[in-house]
């Protein structure tokens, strides 16, 4: 874990400064054309997965700062739409526990964790000397409750992974997670703790091979870097790439190294990609990946900044096309974590993740949004599928996309023939996992015990009960909630 690759340099360009290019172009009404898309082999017909959904109300109350594009409030909007569409009837809804420091240490360096734990807006002036060491600045500011926020979204991803391992869910959804840029030693691109790496490390205790798929507009660099030299995790990222767009990595020739050679797949795209090109490319690549790699579990990062009209994005995707990627991966019937990520036009992030929650549940949502206390965000159309395409010219020519596809399929053929790659079932470390669990149970670590107690108390509560018992839950939460009670609402 935490292997650093040496051959990639990180340009100084910042996330917030990523610039849009191009002008208005033509868009496609993709939602109406979906039925014509064909699905590929390896799919499970009439799949009825058990779905777990992770939400914690406080997660939506954190603030990176007034001008900062990352708005955790998008999580509140999403949860309200999900609940008012009645999707909780199709899922087990959990209020997950926070990750412990020990769990976060499975990937992150101790001195970095120590810094995250200690720094606050009140003491940051005294700690300013550490800021350059830990990449603190405009993209990754110090904000009130930052460490608690990290523990909440990471705890949910870890719980989601364990849920899949236990076999009591087939799909686990955590829209709070997906912070794919965080590095072992530092934050990056609005991400402080890499919940995805932590979740994959859990999955690797049981599954011989884990596939990571990333449809955020930014390269999934933190996850790729963590697993760059292993053949047990394949990372596959679809993103804008021109060498300058944040984070500056994700070229097609970043393929992994050592044992991991060919196990990193990068699909670099240009501005303005439209629904049809994107989904066609996605399905072609993922079909080949699934056939070749045969993962035991999938982690699908659904960053919604690849939608058209995103505040930081430059693609033309509709919510229907974004969701089609989720639908396509679901049909393989492989245990899957579905997590969030970027997404900066928050009214559309909430629509997108709600639509995708419906997809994993296998239910069709009416296009008119249900009324919520946040109605004003969705005016004037109040629709699940607003028109998002057409702002940016599509710079991905057919020839470019064909060449890209050919290169990736060739890489997968190499992988198939590579002598180091044996697709036999690696003995899963389930015994180690169980022993570890037992060890945790006996652990006298107070945080851990408190969190587990909270967790047991909140598990399998129907969402109506969740809200009714919200006050009690807050009281039980003790210290951590006292800390976050000063949070702006
Ligand atoms: Zn992003």
* CATH label of the domain that carries residue 338: 3.40.800.20
Instruction: Assess if residue 343 is contained within a domain.
Output: yes
> What's the gap in Å between 470 CA and the centre of ligand 1?
32
> What's the gap in Å between 179 CA and the centre of ligand 1?
9
Instruction: Assess if residue 12 is contained within a domain.
Output: no
What is the reported pLDDT for 264?
A: 98
Q: Can you read off the two tokens belonging to residue 472?
A: 């009690």
What is the reported pLDDT for 45?
A: 75
> What's the gap in Å between 180 CA and the centre of ligand 1?
8
Q: Is 218 annotated as a binding residue?
A: yes
Q: Is 250 annotated as a binding residue?
A: no
> What's the gap in Å between 341 CA and the centre of ligand 1?
6
Is residue 181 annotated as a catalytic residue, yes or no? yes
Instruction: Assess if residue 1 is contained within a domain.
Output: no
Q: Is 139 annotated as a binding residue?
A: yes
What is the reported pLDDT for 195?
A: 98
> What's the gap in Å between 217 CA and the centre of ligand 1?
5
Rounded (5°) CA angle 367-372-375: 80
What is the reported pLDDT for 127?
A: 81
In whole angstroms, what is the distance from residue 428 CA to residue 302 CA?
27
What is the reported pLDDT for 334?
A: 98
Question: How many distinct structural domains can be found in the chain?
Answer: 1
Instruction: Assess if residue 4 is contained within a domain.
Output: no
Instruction: Assess if residue 21 is contained within a domain.
Output: no
What is the reported pLDDT for 390?
A: 84
- Please state whether the peptide bond connecting residue 247 to the residue before it is cis, i.e. omega within 30 degrees of 0: yes
The structure's pTM equals: 0.81
In whole angstroms, what is the distance from residue 319 CA to residue 85 CA?
17
Range of the domain at 69: 31-484
Q: Is 222 annotated as a binding residue?
A: no
Reported as half-sphere exposure (CB side, CA atoms, 13 A), residue 60 has a value of: 16
> What's the gap in Å between 219 CA and the centre of ligand 1?
7
Instruction: Assess if residue 8 is contained within a domain.
Output: no
What is the reported pLDDT for 133?
A: 81
Instruction: Assess if residue 24 is contained within a domain.
Output: no
What is the reported pLDDT for 41?
A: 53
> What's the gap in Å between 236 CA and the centre of ligand 1?
15
> What's the gap in Å between 452 CA and the centre of ligand 1?
32
Tens-digit pLDDT profile for the chain (489 aa)?
Answer: 333 333 333 233 344 443 332 332 323 355 555 433 444 457 777 899 999 999 999 999 999 999 999 999 999 999 999 999 999 999 999 999 999 999 999 999 999 999 999 999 988 888 887 787 888 888 899 999 999 999 999 999 999 999 999 999 999 999 999 999 999 999 999 999 999 999 999 999 999 999 999 999 999 999 999 999 999 999 999 999 999 999 999 999 999 999 999 999 999 999 999 999 999 999 999 999 999 999 999 999 999 999 999 999 999 999 999 999 999 999 999 999 999 999 999 999 999 999 999 999 999 999 999 999 999 999 999 999 999 988 899 999 999 999 999 999 999 998 876 554 455 555 455 445 544 544 443 332 333 333 433 433 333 333 333 332 333 333 333 333 333 332 222
Write down the catalytic residue from 180, 181, 219, 385: 181
Reported as half-sphere exposure (CB side, CA atoms, 13 A), residue 147 has a value of: 16
Instruction: Assess if residue 300 is contained within a domain.
Output: yes
> What's the gap in Å between 229 CA and the centre of ligand 1?
24
What is the reported pLDDT for 90?
A: 97
């Amino acid at each position: 874990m935490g292997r650093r690759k040496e051959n990639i340099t990180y340009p100084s360009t910042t996330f917030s400064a990523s610039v849009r290019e191009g002008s208005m172009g033509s868009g496609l009404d993709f939602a109406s054309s979906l039925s014509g898309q064909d699905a590929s082999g390896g799919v499970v017909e009439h799949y009825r997965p058990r779905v777990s959904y992770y939400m914690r109300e406080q997660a939506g109350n954190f603030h990176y700062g007034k001008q900062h594009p990352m708005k955790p409030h998008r999580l509140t909007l999403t949860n309200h739409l999900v609940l008012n569409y009645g999707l909780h009837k199709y899922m087990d809804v959990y209020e997950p526990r926070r990750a412990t420091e020990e769990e976060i240490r499975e990937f992150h360096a101790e001195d970095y964790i120590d810094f995250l734990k200690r720094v606050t807006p009140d003491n940051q002036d005294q700690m300013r000397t550490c800021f350059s060491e830990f990449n603190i600045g405009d993209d990754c500011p110090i904000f009130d409750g930052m460490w608690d926020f990290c523990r909440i979204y990471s705890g949910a991803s870890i719980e989601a992974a364990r849920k899949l391992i236990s076999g009591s869910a087939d799909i686990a959804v955590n829209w709070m997670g997906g912070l794919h840029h965080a590095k072992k030693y530092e934050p990056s691109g609005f991400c402080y703790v890499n919940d995805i790496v932590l979740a994959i490390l859990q999955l690797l205790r049981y599954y011989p091979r884990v596939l990571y798929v990333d449809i955020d507009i930014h390269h999934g660099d933190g996850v790729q870097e963590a697993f760059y030299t292993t053949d047990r995790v394949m990372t596959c990222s679809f993103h804008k790439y021109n060498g300058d767009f944040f984070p500056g990595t994700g070229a097609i020739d970043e393929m992994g190294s050592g044992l991991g050679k060919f196990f990193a797949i990068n699909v670099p795209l240009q501005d303005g990609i439209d629904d049809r090109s994107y989904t066609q490319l996605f399905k072609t690549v993922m079909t080949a990946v699934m056939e070749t790699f045969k993962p035991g579990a999938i982690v699908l990062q659904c960053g919604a900044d690849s939608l058209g009209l995103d505040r930081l994005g430059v693609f033309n995707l509709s919510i229907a096309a974004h969701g089609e990627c989720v639908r396509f991966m679901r049909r393989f019937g492989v245990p899957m974590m579905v997590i969030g990520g970027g997404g900066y036009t928050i009214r559309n992030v909430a629509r997108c993740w709600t639509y995708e929650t419906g997809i994993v549940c296998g239910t069709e949502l009416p296009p008119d949004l249900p009324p919520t206390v946040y109605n004003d965000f969705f005016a004037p159309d109040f629709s699940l599928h607003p028109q998002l395409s057409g702002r940016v010219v599509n710079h991905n020519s057919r020839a470019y996309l064909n060449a890209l596809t050919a290169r990736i399929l060739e890489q997968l053929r190499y992988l198939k023939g590579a002598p180091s790659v044996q697709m036999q079932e690696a003995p899963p470390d389930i015994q180690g996992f169980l022993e570890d669990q037992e060890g945790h149970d006996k652990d006298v670590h107070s945080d851990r015990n408190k969190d587990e107690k909270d967790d047991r108390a909140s598990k399998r509560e129907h969402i109506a009960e969740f809200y009714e018992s919200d006050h009690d839950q807050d009281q039980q939460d003790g210290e951590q909630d006292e800390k976050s009670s000063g949070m702006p609402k």
